[in-house]
Amino acid sequence: MMMSPSDMWRKRMRERRERLDATRHWGGYRQAHYAKSTDTLVVVVEAVPANLDPGDHGETKWYTVCDDHNRLIGHSTLALARYHASAPEEWCEVCGGNEEPDEEAQ
Ligand SMILES: [Zn+2]
């Protein structure tokens, strides 16, 4: 049976919602949203519970992650991590148009 355009739209919206909801189970989860500028799923996590490198002196306490492209950037403060969450094109090379997506991210 063919799906109607509205069925497909609803399915897509449901999948977006499920992807977003799934991030709440990530280790160190703090917040997640689809960035307005890129429409990619961006997640803020705490470094240690997320099993990410906290830096030699534990200075990298937070990470901002572009889930669509498997790119991330570390920060010393939650405020910085949240700030970067609104503009992934500034630190995700794929969102910024400077790199091709990884094979496995497709
Ligand atoms: Zn990206």
Q: What is the pTM of this model?
A: 0.90
Kindly list the averaged pLDDT for each block of 10 residues, start to end, along the chain of length 106. 90 97 98 97 98 97 98 98 97 95 68
Distance 43 CA to ligand 1 centre (A): 11
Question: What separation in Å is there between the alpha carbon of 56 and the centre of ligand 1?
Answer: 26
Separation of CA 1 and ligand 1 centre (Å): 35
106 Cα to the center of ligand 1, angstroms = 12
Distance 58 CA to ligand 1 centre (A): 25
pLDDT at 104: 64
* Distance in Å, CA 70 to ligand 1 centroid: 7
The set of long-range contacts for 51-54, using a CB threshold of 8 Å and a minimum separation of 24, is 51/27, 52/28
Sketch the domain layout of the chain as residue ranges.
Answer: 5-99
Q: Extract the tokens encoding 21.
A: 């909801």
Ligand 1 centroid – CA 2 distance (Å): 32
Cβ atoms 82, 58 nearer than 8 A: no
